[in-house]
A and B are shown apart, each in its own frame.
Chain A
């Protein structure tokens, strides 16, 4: 009887492990290759700008023009200075090659907060400085908003991470895609689940939530004032190491670019 029990237990363990290996999400190499490699249409050209030049907040903006016309997407990292996965990915994205349109990236939006490795900079939480029907509340927010208005993006993506998980931990918002009305947050969440979340980590599946446009967040302001499709992406610190958070953030960025026509990886991406 004990031998049979042992054999049954061993069978279950081996079966579970095999299922895990087989069903482990493999990322999306095709999509990321499309982002990293110049397409057949020719090289993109990159220009840089100094935002808030000669101030404590001075930070670099990268504008990458694809060889073909298309929409403009703006990607922001470092709106909160201690959320490193978004900063890492935004830096990486400055070396991507969109197939169409213009990709504008600000990797260290609140540079003082990034250097101090703190959520907030000298004027507080930058992502609460864009109220409806008012001027942005701080010099940094006004400088960032000037750049947004100049580039007039069709899509805005703001990269974040939370300590916990939305719906599981009541005060945290991790593993979520907040999006403006009309933006395709649900498709983004589905694609991320397919590419990056194994079935045996069910709490880590992404939730998409449509956000009303009345809040003081940067992506809400862009949606409200410019009619852009806005996304705020949140991964989580909970049980994920830095490499995993970066991979989820990288995939979120690539999928947003694909969904809005800057990458030609297509529907199957």
Chain B
């Protein structure tokens, strides 16, 4: 095994995603994924803490959380709304991964074109 391959393997292991294809690993942990997750969660969490801190940036998280509670309330009416934080965080991460994957694909295609 070459030194480069060893480093790549170590790097992948260190990141905690051994065995995942590179494209999926980047979609799961890449900067676009992290930025999308932060955009969905942080402004909304600020508004949750203090309603005066709601801003337009909280709108995506607000919509996701609101629709989630509407569905949850229709299915299981007696849950308190703070319990929806867990599915909200999971859903936000899912959306972020999709955005991150799309972003990685877009970057790869752009790089391919510029190398022609």
Contact = CB atoms under 8 A, between A and B. Distances in A.
Given A169-B69, A171-B77, A238-B81, A201 B54 contact: yes
A6 to B, nearest CB: 10
Interface in B45-82: 47-48, 50-52, 54-59, 62, 65-66, 69-70, 73-74, 77, 81
Given A239-B47, A239-B51, A16 B56 contact: yes
A244 B56 CA distance: 17
Contact of B59 (A1, A200, A239, A244): A200
**Interface of B (DSSP majority class):** helix
Interface residues of B, number: 23
B35 interface: yes
- Size class of the contact patch on chain A: 20 to 34
B56 A17 contact: yes
Interface in A159-217: 163-164, 168-172, 198-201, 203
A9 B81 CA distance: 32
Contacts, number: 61
A19 B81 contact: no
A163 B35 CA distance: 32
Contact of A20 (B48, B57, B74, B107): B57
B115 interface: no
Nearest to B65: A239
**Across the A-B interface, the 5 shortest Cβ-Cβ residue pairs:** A20-B56, A20-B55, A244-B51, A16-B56, A169-B73
B58 A163 contact: no
